[in-house]
Every structure is written in C-alpha cells, then in structure tokens.
C-alpha cells in the first residue's frame, strides 16, 4: 500500500499550495519540519506561506465567488457527492496520514477520525438539499445568500474532521474558501485538496495555504477581501483572530477551549456511567475541546467510582499508533506533551488524590510522546486542574453532596462547550441538562449526531458548526420588501 509521504512526494504536492485550481510554489522560503510524535523523528518539511501567498489565494477566491456564489444548489450538491466519494476512496491513505502526523492509533483513525470527517460532507449536502434560501414573511422575501470569501483556520487535534466541518458547509452555502490547516498536522489537508481537485470543483472555489498563525492566520484575519473567518483553536488564538479581524468588521466564528463536565447522578448505573465516561474523556487521548474531563460524582459513592475509573483507564493500551492492538497512540506534539506532564505535576502539588497514571511515559515506552492515562480524585473546583484545559488524558473526579451543588460545579468554569449528564430518571437528567451553561449536552452517552449544532457558551466561542446552524454561519440575510 502507498504511504502518505510517498504518495504526496510522487504527486509533487508536498511542497505546494493549492490555489486557483493549481498546485503552486509558495512565494516565500520559510519551512517547517513535520515530526512523527510516536518516534519524535522528522518525517518531512512543508513550506510556510506569507502575506503574498495569502493575497494570491484570497484574490482567487474573490474571483471565483462571482459565479460560484450564484451557482445552482443542485450543482453544488453534486460536487459535494463527488467529494465524499473521493474522500472515501482515500480513507485508508488519510488514516495512515493522521497516524503519522499526529500519533492517532490507526484503529481510531479508521473508525473515528476519517469516517466522522466524511460525515460532515454528507451532512452539508443533506442540509443544502432542504436549505431555506427564500422565506415569505408577509409581503417580504427573506433570502439567505452566501457571505462571500471565507478564511478557515483549523487545528491539529482533529485535522480532517475540522476541515470538513468548515469547508463542506461553506461550499454548500455558495462561499469560496481559503483554508489554513494547522502547521503541526498539515499533511491530511494536502490529501483533502487532492480530493477537491479530483471532484471537479471550479478553480478558486477552494484554496489551501499552509502556514502558522503569524505568517498566514493573521493575514487572513485582517484581509479586507475576506468576508468571514472561522477558527477552531485555543482561546489565545481565537482572541488574536478576533482582534485582527475587527478593523475590517468581518464575521468571526470561534470554536475554542473547553473544560466539559460529566455529571453522574445518584441513580446512575455506575459501571456504565463511569467506564464510558473515562472512554469519552480520553478519546483522542483527551485532545478534544469538548472532552468531559471533569467527572462530577456523588460524594457517598466516591470510592466505588474511583475503582471503576481506575479499572477502565488501566485497560487502555497506549503504544505504537500503527499496532492494531493500540487503543491510544502518542500525544500529537512536543508542546502538548510537555503541557500535560506539567499539569499532572500541578495536580499532585495541589493535593489531589492520584488514582492512576502520573508523570512520565507508560512502562516500556522510552521514546515518543506517550502519556499515562491519569485520574485524579478528591479534586476541588478551585484547583488549576479543575479549571484549566489540559488537553490530554487527565480526568478530575469532583465529589458533590447535592444535585444543586453538582450543577454549580458544572457551571464553575469560564468555558461552556460540551457537557454530559448520566442517570436513570430522565426527568431529573433533563432538568440538570437544562441548567448547564454549555452549547451541547449529551444524555447517557447517545450516538453522535452530525446534524446537532456544536459550539460554545462563554469563553468557548461564538457561532455554531454542524447541521443547519453550521451552514447558517456562512450566509447573510437579505430582506426584499414588496417581493410578494
């Protein structure tokens, strides 16, 4: 089987940007090393864009918008179908790519990272088919029209998933885009651009510029011909983008940090609630902005919950991402690895009870960015580990005495992205869910829904992704009085 680097090198795309329907040489000479986190070895270099590359890409998108923005929905839907087919044909290549560039266990890449990403394309096409582009309101036509050129900035933790979550609804709405993927996991974006090209999208509709925040992200945010920018990333990055975008009064959508609670009510099935809670918190090695890393539990049941949690964490297999038996691979990059190790140390110094895990690599792993799945108990809500986003496999168990106190603890954070509630009495579960200030709440671990809008309250961001609300982010509303 062809490997990702061999494939990209053979096609000549590894050192190119995709702009105006062509694979073009970057304008500048800056480059960045891509590291395999499982070995900590450099695997290749990619070029980094600059303001000139940004200008060329935005100009291409602006020209393409003149026709793409007025194209028939049926035409755009057909292209999205072809894009989905192209991604499905590349699914194993993309899975291998994600394992290489961000350390994802190959089984997880195949069963979650790739298929969930493709689902966003399918969902955008479904939403487009029934999209309310014109609504009669008395004698007025209320129309929804594409906003224009969209800059899309995506993160390293769910690379292709976040690309499709932004690009698919933007294209479906009739917008043209310039994508800046994370420079820490940039290779899957090249495979996505190949799929766009093979699907037959017109030149300039989709453009890819690799780069970092200062070199490309800032230029996109401040560019006067960019009508909207959407970023998924850290709170720091989201603030920087909003500040850079302010002078041009463009729309800014932000999906930022989280510290999601998982409230376990007294009547919950503890074995299911706790074990699945550990799995949810540690999926993608905890490198998910909505990971429920605060488990809020009845104090009277603390000892039993600790035992179940430890058993669930200890059953996880951390190791070589390409091994079929591995459930959890390597942390995606050195900076994040160091952050996790530091915060585990903070938890110990704060006096939290270490149930399992701790600092250092798991036994038998002497190289690579591997972390022990770590659980702290007897955590107080004022501790740093209960307030700060760690973005790794580190769980805080926080006890409560009353359900009212559990809700207070759940809301005691600057974030409000996701939340979970577990219990048998569905009226009580729904009542707690209604009091949690978060953009998405999961009750008793339901199946993922690609049509469920996703986004945050408070400092977790602005705007929504996925489903109808995700496409509405990319349109302007126009009122035409006297139309009817």
Position 330 scores a pLDDT of 98
Give the pLDDT band (50/70/90) at residue 2.
confident
Q: Which of 287, 276, 341 is nearest to 315 (CA)?
A: 276
255 in catalytic set: yes
Q: What integer is the mean pLDDT of 406-422?
A: 98
d(CA 119, CA 259): 26
Give the pLDDT band (50/70/90) at residue 1.
low
Question: Cβ distance 182 to 159 under 8 Å?
Answer: yes
Q: Is residue 148 left, alpha or beta, with left meaning phi > 0 and alpha meaning psi from -120 to 50?
A: left
| Residue whose tokens read 């996701």 | 418
Collapsing DSSP to helix, strand or coil, 442 comes out as: strand
Give the pLDDT band (50/70/90) at residue 179.
very high
For the full predicted model, state whether its pTM sits above 0.95. yes
Q: What integer is the mean pLDDT of 110-118?
A: 98
Give the pLDDT band (50/70/90) at residue 11.
very high
pLDDT at 88 over 70: yes
Query: What's the pLDDT tens digit per position in 281-332?
Result: 999 999 999 999 999 999 999 999 999 999 999 999 999 999 999 999 999 9
**Pairing mode, strands 461-462 and 251-255:** antiparallel
Which one of the listed residues 44, 289, 465, 473 is annotated catalytic?
289
- Percent of the chain topping pLDDT 90: 99
For the sheet containing 461-462, what is the strand order? 22-24, 17-19, 206-208, 176-180, 149-153, 228-232, 251-255, 461-462
Question: Cβ distance 163 to 189 under 8 Å?
Answer: yes
Domains along the chain?
4-256+461-481 (3.40.605.10), 261-449 (3.40.309.10)
Query: What's the pLDDT tens digit per position in 223-280?
Result: 999 999 999 999 999 999 999 999 999 999 999 999 999 999 999 999 999 999 999 9
**Pairing mode, strands 294-298 and 228-232:** unpaired
Alpha helices for 415-479 (secondary structure H): 426-435, 467-472
175 in catalytic set: no
Q: Which of 262, 220, 213, 167 is nearest to 48 (CA)?
A: 213
d(CA 392, CA 416): 18
Give the pLDDT band (50/70/90) at residue 222.
very high
Q: How far apart are the first and last CA of the chain?
A: 60
Which one of the listed residues 183, 194, 255, 465 is annotated catalytic?
255
d(CA 395, CA 409): 15
Q: What integer is the mean pLDDT of 50-61?
A: 98
């Amino acid at each position: 089987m062809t490997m990702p680097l061999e494939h990209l090198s053979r096609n000549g795309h590894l050192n190119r940007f995709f702009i105006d329907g062509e694979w073009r040489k970057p304008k500048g000479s800056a480059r960045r090393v891509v590291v395999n986190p499982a070995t900590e070895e450099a695997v290749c270099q990619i070029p980094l864009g600059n303001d000139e590359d940004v200008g060329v890409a935005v100009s291409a998108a602006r020209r393409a918008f003149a026709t793409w923005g007025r194209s028939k929905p049926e035409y755009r839907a057909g292209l999205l179908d072809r894009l989905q087919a192209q991604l499905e044909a590349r699914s194993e290549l993309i899975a291998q790519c994600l394992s290489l560039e961000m350390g994802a266990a190959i089984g997880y890449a195949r069963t979650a990272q790739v298929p969930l990403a493709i689902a966003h394309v399918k969902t955008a096409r479904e939403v487009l088919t029934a999209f309310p582009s014109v609504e009669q309101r008395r004698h007025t036509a209320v129309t929804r029209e594409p906003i224009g050129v969209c800059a899309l900035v995506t993160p390293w933790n769910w690379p292709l998933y976040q690309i499709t979550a932004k690009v698919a609804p933007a294209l479906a709405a009739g917008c043209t885009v310039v994508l800046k993927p994370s420079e820490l996991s940039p290779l899957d974006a090249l495979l996505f651009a190949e799929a766009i090209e093979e699907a037959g999208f017109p030149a300039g509709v989709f453009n890819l510029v690799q780069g970092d925040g200062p070199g490309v992200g800032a230029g996109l945010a401040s560019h006067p011909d960019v009508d909207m920018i959407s970023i998924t990333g850290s709170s720091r990055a989201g603030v920087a983008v909003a500040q850079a975008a302010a002078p041009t009064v463009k729309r800014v959508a932000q999906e930022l940090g989280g510290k999601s609670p998982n409230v376990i009510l007294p009547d919950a099935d503890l074995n299911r609630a706790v074990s699945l809670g550990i799995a949810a918190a540690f999926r993608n090695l905890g490198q998910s902005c909505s990971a429920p890393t605060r488990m809020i539990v009845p104090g009277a049941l603390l000892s039993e919950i600790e035992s179940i949690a430890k058993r669930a964490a200890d059953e996880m297999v951390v190791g070589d991402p390409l091994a079929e038996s591995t459930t959890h691979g390597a942390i995606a990059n050195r900076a994040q690895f160091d952050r996790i190790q530091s915060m585990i140390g903070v938890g110990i110094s704060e006096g939290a009870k270490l149930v399992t895990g701790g600092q250092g690599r798991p036994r038998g792993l002497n190289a690579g960015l591997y972390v022990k799945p770590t659980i702290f108990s007897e955590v107080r809500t004022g501790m740093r580990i209960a307030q700060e986003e760690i973005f790794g496999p580190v769980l805080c168990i926080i006890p409560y005495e009353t359900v009212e106190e559990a809700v207070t603890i759940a809301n005691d954070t600057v974030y409000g992205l996701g939340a979970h509630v577990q219990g048998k009495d569905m009226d009580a579960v729904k009542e707690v869910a209604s009091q949690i200030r978060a953009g998405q709440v999961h009750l008793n671990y339901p199946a993922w829904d690609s049509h469920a809008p996703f986004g945050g309250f408070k400092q977790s961001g602005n705007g929504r992704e996925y489903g109808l609300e995700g496409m509405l982010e990319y349109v302007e509303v126009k009122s035409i009085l006297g139309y009817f």
